């Protein structure tokens, strides 16, 4: 693991790191904030998954999470959104919502994406092992959150691994790739045309199929220009209601899809996570 940068901030250390990933077959970059702590202490871990076109840097530079993480004693991990580098396939049509920066946190099975787009395995297996080995992380206390495509990732990874993640929250998540244009293009390209295979990557379908967690928190801005066509939080609300899955859905008046929105409510989400991480 290579240290790309390390900066003192809010009584802790904000680092950016790079390593060779076996899952993706590429170099991967991620950021970790570690608040000050007693020698030998292990701290709970909050994972943050970013959205379309983003890297680790978006939330690291604009998320305004460090003060809250320092207050609550939380390690904050922000991976990249897809593999990158020479030879990594991208969308031939140049769509921003597929290919580089848009890995959708899946294990791709379709050529040419299957070679590198193994983001599910990277987030669920490889990077947690590295975090547990290299940082003062209590891997028995983990939670996960994300934004947009990363909200989709947080919901689906959290629902599939309910024994690992004690809490799931999201900002403006893609709740059902089965039912939106972004998801249809991405999952067709990565997984293939058989929509039955998509259900493992759709939060609403996972809940319909029996996945359960103690609680889910979602914040959604009412002025989000992707609200009706792509995000559709009403589908998640209906799926949770039908299944008896606890959901707190907060429609935030006048907020859009940007980090102005995310940074406004980030501290509330981290306090919510801390209460569930113990």
158-217 pLDDT, tens per residue?
A: 999 999 999 999 999 999 999 999 999 999 999 999 999 999 999 999 999 999 999 999
For residue 13, CA distances in Å to 5, 9, 44, 167 come to 10, 6, 16, 24
| Whole-number pLDDT of residue 188 | 98
Query: Averaged over 122-149, what is the pLDDT?
Result: 98
pLDDT > 90: what percent of the chain? 100
Q: Partners of 181 in the beta sheet?
A: none
Q: What is the pLDDT of residues 51-85, one digit of tens each?
A: 999 999 999 999 999 999 999 999 999 999 999 99
Q: Distance between the two ends of the chain, CA-based, in angstroms?
A: 30
| Whole-number pLDDT of residue 245 | 97
Q: Partners of 29 in the beta sheet?
A: 18
| Whole-number pLDDT of residue 142 | 98
Three-state SS for 92-147 is CCCCCCCECCECCCCECCCCCHHHCCEHHHHHHHHHHHHHHHHCCEEEEEEEEEEE
What count of other Cβ atoms lies within 10 Å of the Cβ of residue 214?
11
Pairing of strands 216-221, 247-252: parallel
| Whole-number pLDDT of residue 29 | 98
| Whole-number pLDDT of residue 51 | 98
Query: Averaged over 223-241, what is the pLDDT?
Result: 98
What count of other Cβ atoms lies within 10 Å of the Cβ of residue 10?
16
For 3, the enclosing helix (H) or strand (E) is strand 2-9
For residues 68 and 56, what is the distance between their CA atoms, to the nearest angstrom?
18
- Mean pLDDT, the chain, integer: 98
CATH architecture of 2-277: 3-Layer(aba) Sandwich (3.40)
Query: Among all residues, which ones are annotated catalytic?
Result: 148, 224, 257
Does pTM surpass 0.95? yes
Name residues whose C-beta falls within 8 Å of residue 148's C-beta, 6 or more positions apart in sequence.
Answer: 51, 52, 171, 172, 173, 174, 226, 231, 257
- DSSP letter for each residue of 62-103: HS--HHHHHHHT-EEEEE-SS--STT----TT--TTSBTTB-
* 31 band by pLDDT with thresholds 50, 70 and 90: very high
Query: Averaged over 238-256, what is the pLDDT?
Result: 98
| Whole-number pLDDT of residue 207 | 98
* 220 band by pLDDT with thresholds 50, 70 and 90: very high
> What are the structural domain ranges in the chain?
2-277
Q: Which two tokens stand for residue 46?
A: 């909050």
Please say whether the beta carbons of 243 and 213 come within 8 A: no
Alpha carbons within 13 angstroms on the beta-carbon side of residue 45 total 24
| Whole-number pLDDT of residue 38 | 97
């Amino acid at each position: 693991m290579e240290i790309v940068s390390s900066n003192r901030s809010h009584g802790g250390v904000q680092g950016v790191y790079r390593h060779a990933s076996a899952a993706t077959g590429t170099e991967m970059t991620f950021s970790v904030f570690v608040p000050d702590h007693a020698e030998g202490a292990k701290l709970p871990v909050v994972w943050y998954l970013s959205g379309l076109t983003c890297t680790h840097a978006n939330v690291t530079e604009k998320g305004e999470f460090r003060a809250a993480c320092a207050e609550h004693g939380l390690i904050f991990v922000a991976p990249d959104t897809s593999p990158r580098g020479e030879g990594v396939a991208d969308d031939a049509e140049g769509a921003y919502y597929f290919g580089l920066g848009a890995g959708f946190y899946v294990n791709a099975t379709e050529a040419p994406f299957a070679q590198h787009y193994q983001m599910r395995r990277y987030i669920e297996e490889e990077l947690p092992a590295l975090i547990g080995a290299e940082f003062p992380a209590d891997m028995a206390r983990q939670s996960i959150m994300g934004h947009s495509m990363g909200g989709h990732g947080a919901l689906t990874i959290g629902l599939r691994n309910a024994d690992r993640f004690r809490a799931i929250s999201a900002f403006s998540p893609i709740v059902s790739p089965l039912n939106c244009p972004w998801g249809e293009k991405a999952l067709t390209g990565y997984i293939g045309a058989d929509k039955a295979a998509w259900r493992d990557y759709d939060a609403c379908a996972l809940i319909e199929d029996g996945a359960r967690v103690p609680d889910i928190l979602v914040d959604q801005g009412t002025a989000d220009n992707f609200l009706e066509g792509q995000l559709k939080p009403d589908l998640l609300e209906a799926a949770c209601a039908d299944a008896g899955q606890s959901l707190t859905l907060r429609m935030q008046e006048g907020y859009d899809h940007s980090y102005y929105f995310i940074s406004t409510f980030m501290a509330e989400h981290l306090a919510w996570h801390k209460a569930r991480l113990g």
